[in-house]
C-alpha cells in the first residue's frame, strides 16, 4: 500500500520540481530546498524544469528512486506514485514543463500541483492536464 501524500506549495516561482520532490518525500518545501541547494540544485536554474536529472538526484537524496521518463500511457495505467510533466512546451528550442505529482491511494487518483495561485492544489480535472510523459517513483530500499 502506498504511503499517504499531501501537496507541498512551491515557495519560489520556479520551484515546482523541489515542491514535487518534497511532497513525494513527505517533507516541507524548506527541507527539500535545503537538500536541493546542498546538491547544487536551485529553483532559479531553468534546467530544473527542462531536465529530469535534477529531480532524479533530489529524490534519491531523499530516499526515493525515479525511473527513466516514459511516454504518458493514460491515467489508468500510471503507477501509484509518479512525477508528471504537464504544460510541456518549447522555448527557443529548449523543452520546459511544470512538475506535478500523481498519487493513487485506495483506488482514488489525484494530482498534487504545487502552484501557489491555484485555489485547490489537489486536482482531479485530469482532462485539462495533458501530460507529455511521467517518471514512476518508488521508495529506495
Each domain of the chain, given as residue ranges in start order, spans 15-139
Burial 111-127, CB ≥16 within 10 A → b, else e: bbbbbeeeeebebeeee
Distance CA 62, CA 108 (A): 25
| pTM: predicted TM-score of the whole model, two decimal places | 0.92
Could you read off the pLDDT of 37-94 as tens digits, one per residue? 999 999 888 776 678 999 999 999 999 999 999 999 999 999 999 999 999 888 888 8
The model's confidence at residue 3, banded by pLDDT at 50, 70 and 90, is low
CATH architecture of the domain formed by 15-139: Alpha-Beta Complex (3.90)
Predicted confidence band of residue 1 (pLDDT cuts 50, 70, 90): very low
List Cβ neighbours of 120 (8 Å cut-off, separation of 6 or more).
none
Predicted local distance difference test score (pLDDT) of residue 57:
95
Over residues 15-37, mean pLDDT: 96
Amino acid at each position: 500500500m502506498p504511503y499517504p501524500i499531501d501537496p507541498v506549495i512551491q515557495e519560489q516561482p520556479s520551484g515546482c520540481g523541489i515542491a514535487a520532490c518534497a511532497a513525494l518525500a513527505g517533507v516541507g518545501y524548506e527541507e527539500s530546498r535545503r537538500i536541493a541547494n546542498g546538491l547544487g540544485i536551485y529553483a532559479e536554474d531553468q534546467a530544473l524544469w527542462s531536465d529530469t536529472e535534477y529531480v532524479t538526484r533530489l529524490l534519491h537524496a531523499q530516499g526515493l528512486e525515479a525511473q527513466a521518463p516514459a511516454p504518458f500511457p493514460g491515467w489508468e495505467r500510471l503507477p501509484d506514485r509518479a512525477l508528471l510533466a504537464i504544460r510541456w512546451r518549447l522555448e527557443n528550442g529548449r523543452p520546459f514543463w511544470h512538475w506535478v505529482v500523481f498519487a493513487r491511494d485506495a483506488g482514488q487518483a489525484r494530482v498534487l500541483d504545487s502552484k501557489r495561485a491555484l485555489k485547490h492544489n489537489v486536482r482531479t480535472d485530469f482532462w485539462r492536464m495533458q501530460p507529455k510523459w511521467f517518471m514512476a517513483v518508488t521508495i529506495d530500499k
